[in-house]
Amino acid sequence: MLSVCSDFRLLANLALREALTSGKTARGSLARFASQQAKLLHLNFYHALAATDLAVALARAHRGRLRRHRASTVPYLRRLFLRTSHHCFHFDPQTGKLRLSLRSGEWISFQVHVAPYHRSILAKPGLRVTQLHLTPERAILIYGKPAPEPYAPESLLALDTNEGTLDGVTVAPKEGTHAVRVDFSEIPTIQSCHAKRRRHLARKKATDRRVGKRLLNREGRREHDRVRSRLHPLTKQLVAVAAAHRAALAIEDLSQMPHPRRRGRLARRKPSTRRRLSSWPRGELNRQLAYKAAEWGVPIYWVNPFRTSRTCPRCGGIAVPRSRVGPVFVCPQCAWSLDRQLNAGANIGRIVLRETKELGGLRLDLDALLDEAMTPRYPFECIGRAREERTGREGRPLKDSVQTLLQ
Ligand SMILES: [Zn+2]
């Protein structure tokens, strides 16, 4: 089997080199090349296809990095592994028996240890194992799950992303309009803690760049992991609450937002503020919300955030410039005033209600917001603060108080 792994790696590297030197980007022409090479290496057609897919993905990522003027070395596969599609293997999760086609007419079968948890996952209806990634140490099964059709929304949860919070409104037919605030304040705490540590490390290892770089990289990875693991329960709860109330989510569409640094908006800020504002993981938050919403069948609407923080939701008046909008938005044309962050969430709600037919029965009641703006609901406030250093899984278990949202 190891010889097959090493032949497969060779095949993938040949396809990769072909993709980079000839400039081929089409999967078809690369697959033709790879299947010719596969014949010479006595591998089958499906190995060639898997190697082509790898080569195409790696070459595309490399080209993308070069286009964006990022540092990139020419990709090359070093690790020994075999990736095959479901045509080439058969796996029985109950017995753990894996039967695998190595070369044309040559099969092996062996036993894989399957934990009860994995067995329960693989037994779910509709789930299909699509790929096998085999290394000398482990077997990784990659499966696909059909996403349910999004339900017809009965209410709306519109949120604006801010540093440390998501603020916005919920609109339901019976309960009316309410202001909500989802607390993510732990994440800035984690980030500032790690920024402090990185600064300290950089100073301490200023004379040893090699060790300094390694330690700083490790610090960065640890921060990344901690932020992710804190975001996951929060996004899961948010989507679960939306699903329980058959609510649609409305979130700002980051792809339509100019990068603040490119706009020069951040240039005037202090360096510490700049770091804080641009390190807030908006992209990761939206990625998690998007895939979890798809998994739960929650409809999600992406709203262009242009001017949402400085527009009046009542009369459409625009405050200029943005930097003069303080913690409270005050309309220059009418008497409307509201917490700036809640105001942006209300605008997102207004836009999505105006533009979406499925939400036609809902009405944004702005007067209800005025009464509540001083005390928005904090659906996630029960989650514990971030610790200074990771010692196992962070935070206390989530309580049921999340259910106050959308009641
Ligand atoms: Zn106004």
Using one digit for the tens of pLDDT, what is the confidence trace for 191-227?
888 999 999 999 999 899 899 999 999 999 999 999 9
User: Is the residue at 360 inside a domain?
Assistant: yes
User: Which candidate, 62, 35, 63, 67, places its Cα nearest to that of 49?
Assistant: 35
Q: Give the distance (Å) from ligand 1 centre to CA of residue 177.
A: 19
Indicate whether 132 and 159 sit together in one domain: no
Domain assignment present for residue 208? The answer is: no
| Cross-strand pairs, 311 | 318
How far is ligand 1, taken at its centre, from the CA of residue 28, in Å?
A: 57
Question: Count of domains in the chain?
Answer: 2
172 and 68 housed in the same domain: no
For residue 121, is it within any domain? yes
* pTM attached to this predicted model: 0.74
> Rounded mean pLDDT of the chain?
83
- Residue 172 C-alpha to ligand 1 middle, in angstroms? 24
* Strand-pair category, 247-252 with 155-161: parallel
The answer to whether residue 21 is domain-embedded is yes
Q: Give the model's pLDDT for residue 301.
A: 94
pLDDT at 181: 84
In-domain check, residue 382: yes
CA of 337 relative to ligand 1 center, distance in Å:
8
The 10 Å Cβ neighbour count of residue 73 is: 7
192 occurs within a structural domain: no
Residues facing residue 168 across a β-bridge: 159, 180
- Do residue 136 and residue 176 come from a single domain? no
Would you say residue 209 lies in a domain? Answer: no
252 and 119 in one domain? no
Question: Among residues of the chain, what percentage have pLDDT more than 90?
Answer: 32
d(CA 201, CA 213) in angstroms, rounded, equals 9
Q: What is the Å distance from ligand 1's center to 333 Cα?
A: 5
Question: Which of 95, 125, 146 is the last residue before a domain boundary?
Answer: 146
Distance 311 CA to ligand 1 centre (A): 8
Residue 351 lies in a domain: yes
Q: Looking at residue 72, what DSSP letter applies?
A: -
Residues 94 and 65: their CA atoms lie apart, in Å, by 43
How many angstroms separate the alpha carbon of residue 370 from the centre of ligand 1? 13
CA of 339 to the centre of ligand 1 (A): 14
Q: How distant, in Å, are the alpha carbons of 126, 201, 227 from that of 209? A: 52, 11, 26
Do 293 and 240 share a structural domain?
yes
Q: If you measure from the C-alpha of residue 342 to the centroid of ligand 1, how many angstroms do you get, rounded to a whole number?
A: 15
Compute mean pLDDT per 10 residues along the chain, 407 residues long, and list them. Answer: 88 93 87 92 89 93 89 90 90 88 84 88 85 89 88 92 86 86 84 90 91 92 91 88 90 73 60 72 90 93 88 86 73 86 91 88 83 57 41 40 40
- Tokens linked to 259: 């990068």
Q: Ligand 1 mean position to 308 CA, how many Å?
A: 13
Cα angle, residue 226 at apex, residues 276 and 220 outer, rounded to 5° = 65
Last residue of a domain, one of 113, 146, 179: 146
Q: Kindly give the distance from the C-alpha atom of residue 318 to the centroid of ligand 1, in angstroms, as a whole number.
A: 8
Ligand 1 centroid to Cα of residue 150, in Å, is: 35
Final residue before a domain boundary, out of 146, 164, 199:
146
Q: What is the CA(364)–ligand 1 centre distance, in A? A: 15
Task: For residue 312, report the distance from its CA to the centre of ligand 1, in Å.
Answer: 5
Say if residue 171 is in the same domain as residue 71: no
pLDDT for residue 259:
58
Domain housing 300: 155-187+228-404
